[in-house]
Structure 1
Amino acid sequence: MNQIIAKAETWMQEVFRSEKTGHDFEHLKRVVETATKIQSTEGGDLFFIQLAALFHDYSDEKLTKDVSRARGELKSWMENENLEKNFVRRILRAIDAVSYRNGENKIQAQSIEEKIIQDADRLDAMGAIGIIRAFTYGASKNRQPLDYLKTNPNSTLQHFDDKLLRLKELMQTETGKRLAEERHAFMLLFIEELKKEQAIKS
């Protein structure tokens, strides 16, 4: 199993080598590490969790123009590693369940493995790392970074209200909820300091 994880890491590192939106290989590694940490207290199939965490952005509609093709490539890769069909199907479902999709993802995380992967991915969108990733993604899409009057619904700062500050309440596991508290608090401090520096009233 460790050999398969190592091969998957090598493949994802190559695929995401030039990624500039904050969904790079370092993000994948952090999600794997956080998911592994959560699994140590919440349980679940560690191999499944680590593999799905590594693959979770490969077929993301934000990052690929052909989601079906990307899913097919993942499926073929896993089948070539002689993974059972049901296991492959579960991995693909877990990947679908991870996505936030503006809070309207119809595929809900159900198994403990899916919940752990989703929590780990969302935790990486919070805290100091989450702030860096938010502005990195915004810049890649030519979004205005700051919009204190909230007249621009596409600004990166507005993204905090639209998504990032909502994530704490969406955590699925007890460990995820605990980890989210500190990261959520840091984002609030960041916004408070940002407003102070710009002399903007709360």
Structure 2
Amino acid sequence: MAKYFEEIESVLKKLMVEICKENPDPSHDILHIERVVRAAKKLSELENADLNIVVPAAYLHDCEVIEKSDPQRSQVSSLSAKKALGILKELKYPEKYFDGIAHAIAAHSFSSGIVAETIEAKVLQDADRLDGLGAIGVARCFSLGGKLNRPFYSDEDPYAESRTPDDNTNNLDHFFVKLLKVANKLQTPAAKEDGRKRTEFLKAFLTQLRSEIL
């Protein structure tokens, strides 16, 4: 059985490599998928989550691609869940895990508004959110902003000190709208500790950037 799951994992990785090639985005590429899978495995060991649910969900959590600017973006995690089950059914993956996998994928996204109710869903959600923090979070933030053709920061008020932050207008505002708040929404103890450390890096980055642009 262990060999079977190793083979499934290999197939899912190859599938996601192709999906990522068809939809190039460095902030959501195969490296992002692999980081989320690794983090999810580590958290699963600590939280006693079922890897038979967590691993397929982690590989396939971004299997449906909808641009950030698309009005249907809030539905992408639910659409990914549906697509993932179709993929796993073709692979004859045990259907007893389907409900858990679908829920974990559907609940992982901020925009979905779906509450993570199982430990597997919480693990995947935390693993994905951790990848938005720390050094890699900074890289992903500005990579996505570049793809959306947004300026790095507001020239008049870079740190949104006298205005409401709006990350639809520039990249740096995403720190204030979302990134600095993520750690407080993590659910597993290990993720909370890691998230705290990564958030300290974000704050240090903001301090250094301030010294360079103001």
Give the TM-score taking structure 1 as reference length: 0.88
Counterpart among 42, 46, 49 of residue 41 in structure 1:
46
For residue 93 of structure 2, what is the aligned residue in structure 1?
Answer: 83
Cα distance between partner residues in 1 of 2:202 and 2:193: 15
Check if 1:10 corresponds to 2:17.
Answer: no
Cα distance between partner residues in 2 of 1:189 and 1:70: 35
Contact 1:21 1:140 in 2 (8 A): no
Counterpart among 46, 55, 59 of residue 50 in structure 1:
55
Long gaps (5+) in structure 1:
none
Check if 1:188 corresponds to 2:192.
Answer: no
Long gaps (5+) in structure 2:
none
For residue 93 of structure 1, what is the aligned residue in structure 2?
Answer: 103
Amino acid at match of 1:95: I
Give the TM-score taking structure 2 as reference length: 0.84
Cα distance between partner residues in 1 of 2:143 and 2:173: 14
Check if 1:143 corresponds to 2:150.
Answer: yes
Q: 1:127 to 1:41 in 2, by over 3 A?
A: same
Identity of aligned residues (%): 31
Cα distance between partner residues in 1 of 2:132 and 2:153: 18
Cα distance between partner residues in 2 of 1:28 and 1:172: 20
Cα distance between partner residues in 1 of 2:117 and 2:159: 39
Runs of 4+ in 1 over 3 A off after TM superposition: 60-73, 149-152
Counterpart among 100, 115, 137 of residue 122 in structure 2:
115
Contact 2:80 2:105 in 1 (8 A): no
Check if 1:29 corresponds to 2:39.
Answer: no
Amino acid at match of 2:11: K
3-state SS of 1:172 partner: coil
Q: Render the CA deviation track for 1:16-72: whole Å, top value 9, x for unaligned.
A: 025225000100000000111111211111121111011111125437879587554
Q: Which has the higher contact order (CA 8 A, sep 6+)?
A: 1
Amino acid at match of 2:149: N
Cα distance between partner residues in 1 of 2:35 and 2:18: 17
